[in-house]
Amino acid sequence: MSYLLENWYWLVAALASGGLLLWPQIKGGVNAGLTPANAVHLINREKAQVIDVCDAAEFAAGHVVGAKNIPLDTLTDKVKGLPGNKTTPLVVVCATGARSTKAVAQLKTMGYDKAQVLAGGLKAWREANLPVEKTA
């Protein structure tokens, strides 16, 4: 016990470094979202469908190529655009990732267990130099 009291600073340093290593997991959770590269992999390999939950004006200004626009406030079981097969992987996108996190939670309650957030949203997609299209 006297060793710990005499070397308390090493204990503090060890706890601080462990906390810093765990912080990303605590902050973002275990399933913080897909990176753009992982999303592309999911789209190409597992035929994931991209769902953009931005409003119509934001969607028209720019979105992931091939994405379907289903604004967050209209997301229900009866909305058109969602796949009939609930095992289809979904990549959910918004401008920064905040609305898509809510959308994924809602989709999972609707039975879409393979719905995932694109971490960082369309902003991260653009920063990765991935293709974006605009609607006229």
- Each domain of the chain, given as residue ranges in start order, spans 1-29, 36-133
Active-site option among 94, 95, 117, 122: 94
Least confident of 5-19, 21-35, 40-54: 21-35
The answer to whether the beta carbons of residues 41 and 89 sit under 8 Å apart is: no
The tens digit of pLDDT for each residue in 79-108 reads 888 998 999 999 999 998 889 999 999 999
Length of the chain: 136
Residue 30 has pLDDT above 60, yes or no: no
Residue 64 has pLDDT above 70, yes or no: yes
Q: In the prediction, which pLDDT does 16 show?
A: 85
Quick check: is 94 catalytic?
yes
Q: Which CATH architecture has domain 36-133?
A: 3-Layer(aba) Sandwich (3.40)
Residue 136 has pLDDT above 90, yes or no: no
